[in-house]
Amino acid sequence: MNKKQRNIRNRLLVFFIGIPAIFALLVLLPQANHAAAALAIILVSSIATGELAGLFENHLTDYPGSRIVIPLLGMIFPVLWYLEGVNRIPVNTAVAIGVLAIALILGLQAFRRDPRAFAHIKGIASLHILLLLYPGIFLAYILRIATLPMSSHLLVIFVITVYLNDSAAYAGGMLFGKGNSGLLPISPNKSIAGFASGLFASGLVTTSASLLYPGLFPGGWITALPFGLIIGCVAIIGDLAESAIKRSAAQKDSGSIIPGRGGLLDSIDSLAYAAPFFYYGYLFLQGA
């Protein structure tokens, strides 16, 4: 079995194991505003935040307690937004805690005593604010989707829209991408055929959902189709954005936790990036 065949096998295993597991969390365990899924998202955000930190220079993240602080940064917004979603804390409190976290990151820099570290202050502060916001606040929008009517349906549609986009783009690129790749230097293996296949898959998912569940999308398939295409496009950009960070770090993957895909961040980058667009886009369709 060559490298390409192993990669395909591993991707298929992840797809056919991961998607049913996600489906079970979202559909079979909707209790307490999808508490089981919320716990999974909090854990995933924590791990992915650690992987993102690993793509940056060691002097920005190598300090006593960093292995605790960095994962905790990734948990803050998912925890806050889940608690706000189940009416445990008001939204203003959630926002205030987030602002205080940023203030703490900045304020602590004023107490550094080693002059040799002064040159790194702007990098350390900037990175830790990034780690607070990404991927945590993006993943937290999945918990916002969980507060919408018919949330189980919408969550499943969202996940399938994003992951089928990724799978279709990979398959389309392999089958038809020869000769039309290299469109974007940041990810030269991506092809026009792959992009088109991914967008087609995303549009197909939302259009099919609008036909299976009339009323889920106001306007039916006429609005569901462009909505799916937009989410598919955003999902692709999310993947490319992480590729840009990895290229800057001269790394192929953010980690090695998932066979055939690399790190956890490599598997949730599109999902995280697309979540706020799905949430606000759906509210726009609803006229909210």
Q: What is the DSSP string of 255-278?
A: -SSBTTTBSHHHHHHHHHHHHHHH
Kindly list the averaged pLDDT for each block of 10 residues, start to end, along the chain of length 288.
63 70 77 86 96 94 92 96 87 93 95 89 96 97 92 93 91 86 86 94 97 92 97 97 94 83 89 97 88
Position 29 scores a pLDDT of 77
Report how far residue 236's alpha carbon sits from residue 199's, in angstroms, rounded to the nearest whole number.
Answer: 9
Position 262 scores a pLDDT of 82
Q: Quick check: helix, strand or coil at residue 84?
A: helix
Position 245 scores a pLDDT of 95
Share of the chain above pLDDT 70, in %: 94
Q: Which residues pair with 191 in a beta bridge?
A: 181
pLDDT digits (tens, 9 = 90+) for 119-163: 999 999 999 999 999 999 999 999 999 999 999 899 999 999 999
How many CB atoms lie under 10 A from the CB of residue 91?
11
Position 11 scores a pLDDT of 65
Phi, psi for 182 (deg, rounded to 5):
80, 15
Q: What is the DSSP string of 197-242?
A: HHHHHHHHHHHHHHHHSTTSSTTTHHHHHHHHHHHHHHHHHHHHHH
Position 116 scores a pLDDT of 85
Q: How far is CA 77 from CA 45, 118, 229, in A?
A: 9, 29, 28
Per-domain residue ranges of the chain: 3-286
Tokens of 134: 């990404």
